[in-house]
């Protein structure tokens, strides 16, 4: 079934097409949700809400060379995740961009091009490292690295300054590097 | 620093490239269940629309049947039987009413033959067509008791009787008439139905019509679900034989909702900011008195929030249709046909009906239009059935269940793949200019 015909059937709420859409895209999108939410339970909620939004907005989606289905679905899922985080922030679990986690003053210059990490651990371990980041760091890191938003866009979307976005990213990098180092250290021991 | 060259970024991006995590099966079931619910709601709405369309069609067909069918009540029919007919054979029939004329013959008295086309005795002078008028004493105008009475008293003028019966073609009244000795006359049917035929020929001629129309319309496949619009205007038609061309100008009024997405920071309040302090001695120079210079500073939350305000607008379109018509059935009062043609819509005006969005003291970061602007020009193809009724030869009333398909969306940069379409019921009152 081609993507276009699949979409037509999904718009008509064909049960088989709905199943196929979910089976084809849910694993990738669930990975995205895990990255943003940091835990499985919240990621499941976001995935569900995101898929319902996708279904509601699908009649308005126009496939084209500059707009592929997967990219469009990912954008919806990211927005759903951000809304979910904002909602949580309302419930006094604010995403703080300056006070979360330990204070690490680090500049990007501390990293060099020669920094290499030869062994890539299990993807689940990588995912866990990202999940362990404080919410603010994690959100900025995901948006910048995986969704490739600029700091200006991130600042606009999260309602913070560009400087805050940059510092959050730097701190996230440092934390991740330390996490990687500790993982490699453990592996060396064994 | 280059965004993609940072080793940590590259490392994590590569590590999680095409990463998949299998979601739990319960999530899949929940999604399919929810999707089914929304699908059912949509189907229900479509069924409702279909039902309304069918009701409209049945209503239109019912009106057509009513205005064309023989729906005269029985009582009225009986009364018409006892009254003198409108169409009479002049001359021999209206001459010399007999003295001692009586009237008020009941329906039962004249209802001998139940059908006007029923075979009658040889002496009966009336047949359905052509109409034979009695001209000799041996001829008896009617059958039944009257006939017997006359037969028993030959040569005596018949008592005054008034009787009539209805034929599918003509209604003939028998006034009392004496035996006159005239030869039987044949009244041709053309003479009797002259007026009716005139009307039929009028419909067949070519001519012009001008009229006004009004049409409620329901649109589908728009960004705002179903939309209701009122169309009204003037139109002119040229008709020849069974064909017609109609054009005109009309106005279409519709309301629309524009949804905005506002990104903002909540206003949290103010604090007093100390700008400076100055000190001076009191008069005795025993105490230093400070003076604080404060300014109020607003504070906003750093968390970005989204709001989706709606602005209601009214749109006015100028519509120019060019409809081609063909009547495939017609009689002297009604016609039934189809109308198809393009319609050009040009947006003339849009007026905001609701107030502007007021963010209050919140800090607005960005305002984005979710609903795109309306397009200023679009084309539609319209088609429908036409029921036309002529109460007299000059005025006509038309009823047109109509469907329209929009060749382009009514919105700019619309992402809706399906084109809008609409259904409506057009009512037209028009005047034949040629007469």
DSSP B351-372: EE-SPPP--TTSEEEEEEESSP
Test the B interface: residue of A5, A10, A12, A26 with most B CBs within 10 Å: A26
Contacts with A, B 40-59, CB within 8 Å: 42
Exposed, middle or buried by CB within 10 Å (0-12, 13-18, 19+), for B47? exposed
Q: Cβ of A83 and B306 within 8 Å? A: yes
Which of B12, B410, B413 should be substituted to probe chain A, the one whose Cβ sees the most A Cβ atoms within 10 Å? B12
Average pLDDT, stretch B90-107? Answer: 41
CA atoms within 13 A on the CB side of B329: 7
pLDDT tens, residue by residue, A116-146: 565 666 788 888 889 889 888 999 999 999 9
Q: Which two tokens stand for residue B285?
A: 């120079």
Whole-angstrom Cα distance, residue B254 to residue B250? 13
Those residues with Cβ within 8 angstroms of residue A29's Cβ, 6 or more apart along the chain or in another chain: A47, A50, A51, A73, A74, A77
Contact A86 B31 (CB under 8 A): no
Choice between B422 and B263, residue whose per-residue pLDDT is larger: B422
Question: Is the minimum CB–CB distance between A93 and chain B shorter than 8 Å?
Answer: no
User: Is the Cβ of B25 closer than 8 Å to some Cβ of chain A?
Assistant: no
- Round to whole Å and give the CA distance between B272 and B174: 111
> Which positions ≥6 away from B244 have C-beta within 8 Å?
B237, B238, B323, B324, B325, B326, B327, B339
| pLDDT score recorded for residue B177 | 45
| pLDDT reported for residue A110 | 52
Residue B380 has pLDDT above 80, yes or no: yes
Stretch B160-189: mean pLDDT, rounded? 46
Instruction: Give CA–CA dist A93/B268, Å, rounded.
Output: 17
Chain B nearest C-alpha distance from A81 (Å): 14
Q: What is the 3-state secondary structure (H, E, C) of B64-87?
A: HHHHHCCCCCHHHHHHHHHCCCCC
**Which residues 48-87 of A are in CB contact (within 8 Å) with B?**
48, 51-52, 55-56, 59-62, 83, 86
- Conformational region of residue B117, where left means phi above 0, alpha means psi within -120 to 50, and beta covers everything else: alpha
Q: Is the pLDDT of residue B7 over 60?
A: yes
B1 band by pLDDT with thresholds 50, 70 and 90: very low
Interface contact flag, A13 B36, Cβ < 8 Å: yes
The pTM of this model reads 0.40
DSSP annotation of B260:
E
| Contact status of A23 with chain B (Cβ, < 8 Å) | yes
Contacts of B304 in chain A (CB under 8 A): 86, 156-160
Distance CA A110, CA A133 (A): 20
Q: What's the average model confidence in pLDDT over B99-120?
A: 41
Interface test with A, best of B23, B33, B220, B226 (most A CBs within 10 A): B23
What distance in Å separates the CA atoms of residue B435 and residue B431, rounded to the nearest whole number? 9
pLDDT of the residue at B194: 54
Report cis status (omega within 30 of 0) of the bond before B130. yes
- pLDDT higher than threshold 80 for residue A107: no
Cβ pair B391, B362 in contact under 8 A: no
Q: What ipTM does the predicted assembly reach?
A: 0.83
Cα–Cα distances in angstroms (integers) from residue B319 to residues A162, B195, B230, in the given order: 51, 40, 12
- pLDDT tens for B48-90 read 777 777 777 777 666 666 655 554 444 444 444 444 444 444 4
HSE-CB for B15 with a 13 A CA cutoff: 24
Residue B27 is encoded by which pair of tokens? 């999530």
Q: Mean pLDDT across the stretch B267-293?
A: 87
Half-sphere exposure of B286 (CA within 13 A, CB side): 1
**Contact: A44, B24; criterion CB under 8 Å:** yes
Q: Which residue has the higher pLDDT, B126 or B277?
A: B277
Largest CA-CA distance found in chain A, in angstroms, rounded: 57
pLDDT tier at B156 (50, 70, 90 boundaries)?
very low
Which of B21, B35, B42 shows the shortest C-beta gap to A31? B21
- Tell me the two tokens of residue A8: 């037509």
Q: What is the pLDDT of residues B327-354, one digit of tens each?
A: 888 887 888 999 999 999 998 888 887 7
Considering only residues B98 and A79, tell me which one the structure prediction assigns the higher pLDDT.
A79
Q: How far is B355 from chain A (nearest CA, A)?
A: 27
Residue A42, pLDDT > 60, answer yes
Local structure of A189: helix, strand or coil = helix
Using an 8 Å Cβ cutoff, are B259 and B224 in contact? Answer: no
Contacting B residues, span 257-286, partner chain A, CB-CB under 8 Å: 263, 265
Residue B110 predicted with pLDDT over 50: no
Residue B143 burial (CB count, 10 A): 18
CB proximity B155 to A under 8 Å: no
Within 8 A by CB and 6+ apart from B12, the residues are A126, A130, A145, A146, A176
Which is more confident, A86 or B404? B404
Q: Determine whether the interchain pair B11/A117 forms a contact, defined as Cβ–Cβ distance below 8 Å.
A: yes
Q: What is the DSSP letter of B4?
A: T
Residue B99 has pLDDT above 80, yes or no: no
User: Partners of B163 in the beta sheet?
Assistant: B174
Reported residue count of chain A is 190
CA distance A72 to chain B (A): 13
């Amino acid at each position: 079934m081609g993507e276009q015909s699949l979409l037509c059937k999904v718009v008509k709420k064909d049960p088989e097409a709905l199943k196929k859409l979910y089976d084809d895209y849910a694993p990738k999108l669930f990975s995205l949700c895990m990255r943003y939410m940091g835990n499985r339970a919240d990621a499941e909620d976001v995935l569900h809400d995101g898929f319902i939004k996708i279904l509601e907005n699908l009649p308005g989606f126009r496939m084209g060379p500059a707009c592929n289905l997967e990219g469009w679905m990912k954008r919806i899922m990211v927005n759903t995740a951000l809304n979910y985080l904002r909602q949580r922030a309302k419930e006094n679990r604010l995403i703080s961009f300056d006070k979360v986690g330990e204070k690490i003053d680090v500049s990007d210059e501390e990293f060099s091009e020669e920094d290499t990490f030869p062994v890539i651990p299990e993807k689940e371990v990588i995912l866990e490292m990202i999940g362990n980041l404080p919410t603010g760091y994690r959100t900025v890191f995901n948006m910048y690295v995986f969704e490739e938003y600029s700091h200006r866009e991130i600042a606009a979307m999260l309602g913070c300054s560009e400087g805050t976005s940059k510092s959050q990213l730097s701190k996230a990098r440092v934390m991740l590097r330390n996490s990687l180092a500790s993982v490699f250290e453990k592996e060396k021991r064994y | 620093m280059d965004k993609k060259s940072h080793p940590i970024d590259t490392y994590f991006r590569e590590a999680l490239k095409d990463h998949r995590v299998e979601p739990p099966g319960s999530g899949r079931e929940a999604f399919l269940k929810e999707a089914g619910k929304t699908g059912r709601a949509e189907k229900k709405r479509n069924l409702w629309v279909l039902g309304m369309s069918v009701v409209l069609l049945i209503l239109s067909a019912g009106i057509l049947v009513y205005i064309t069918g023989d729906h005269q009540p029985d009582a009225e029919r009986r009364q018409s039987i006892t009254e003198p007919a409108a169409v009479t054979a002049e001359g021999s029939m209206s001459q010399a009413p007999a003295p001692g004329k009586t009237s008020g013959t009941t329906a039962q008295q004249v209802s001998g033959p139940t059908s006007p086309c029923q075979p009658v005795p040889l002496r009966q002078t009336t047949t359905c067509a052509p109409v034979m008028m009695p001209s000799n004493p041996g001829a008896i105008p009617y059958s039944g008791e009257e006939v017997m009475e006359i037969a028993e008293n030959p040569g005596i003028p018949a008592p005054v009787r008034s009787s009539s019966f209805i034929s599918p073609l003509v209604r003939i009244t028998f006034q009392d008439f004496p035996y006159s000795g005239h030869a039987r006359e044949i009244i041709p049917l053309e003479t009797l139905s002259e007026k009716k035929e005139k009307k039929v020929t009028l419909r067949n001629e070519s001519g012009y019509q001008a009229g006004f129309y009004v049409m409620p319309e329901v649109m589908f496949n728009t960004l705002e679900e179903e939309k209701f619009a009122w169309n009204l205007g003037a139109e002119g038609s040229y008709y020849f034989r069974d064909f017609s061309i109609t054009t005109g100008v009309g106005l279409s009024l519709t309301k629309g909702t524009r949804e905005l997405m506002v990104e903002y920071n909540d206003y949290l309040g103010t604090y007093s900011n100390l700008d400076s302090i100055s000190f001076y001695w009191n008069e005795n120079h025993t105490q230093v008195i400070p003076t604080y210079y404060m300014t109020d500073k607003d504070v906003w939350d750093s968390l970005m929030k989204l709001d989706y305000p709606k602005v209601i607008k009214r749109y006015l379109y100028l519509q120019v249709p060019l409809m081609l018509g063909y009547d495939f059935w017609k009689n002297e009062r009604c016609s039934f046909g189809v109308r198809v043609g393009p319609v050009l819509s040009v947006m003339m005006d849009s007026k905001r009906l609701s107030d502007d969005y007021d963010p209050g003291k919140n800090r607005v970061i960005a305002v984005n239009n979710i609903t795109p602007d309306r397009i200023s020009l679009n084309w539609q193809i319209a088609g429908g059935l036409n029921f036309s009724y002529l109460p007299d030869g000059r005025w006509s009333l038309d009823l047109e269940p109509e469907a329209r398909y929009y060749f382009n969306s009514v919105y700019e940069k619309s992402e809706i793949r399906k084109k809008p379409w609409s259904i409506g019921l057009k009512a037209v009152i028009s005047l034949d200019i040629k007469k």
